[in-house]
């Protein structure tokens, strides 16, 4: 995936593996649940920005594996 990106390609991946998600440039978290209870954008942004969204289930798990960012470098999702 990184090689494709390095050659200027845009890559869209549907993924649930947090090790893949945490390395993404941009994450779009759909939800809030699956199936008929989903379909809305719950959070979008860098993995760190998604981790800061309390309503994001993905963000809650990302928070556990990402290193904390200093307050002065945080951005709103």
Please tell me the predicted confidence (pLDDT) of residue 18: 95
Give the pLDDT score at 1.
Answer: 84
pLDDT in tens, 17-57: 999 999 999 999 999 998 999 999 999 999 999 999 999 99
Q: Domains in the chain: how many in total? A: 1
Instruction: Specify the pLDDT at position 70.
Output: 61
Higher model confidence: residue 75 or residue 18?
A: 18
Q: How many CB atoms lie within 10 A of CB 3?
A: 7
Residue 5's pLDDT is what? 87
Decide if 3 is inside a domain. no
Range of the domain at 29: 15-73
Looking at residues 6-26, what average pLDDT do you find?
Answer: 92
HSE-CB at 31 with a 13 A cutoff on CA atoms is 17
Task: Name the one residue in this structure whose structure tokens are 């549907």.
Answer: 14
* Tokens (6 digits) for 2: 């990184």
Q: 26 lies in a domain? A: yes
């Amino acid at each position: 995936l990184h090689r494709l990106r390095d050659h200027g390609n845009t890559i869209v991946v549907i993924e649930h593996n947090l090790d893949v998600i945490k390395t993404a440039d941009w994450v779009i978290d759909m939800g809030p649940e699956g199936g008929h209870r989903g379909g809305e954008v719950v959070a979008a942004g860098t993995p760190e920005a998604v981790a800061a969204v309390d309503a994001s289930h993905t963000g809650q798990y990302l928070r556990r594996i990402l290193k904390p960012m200093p307050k002065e470098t945080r951005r709103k999702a």
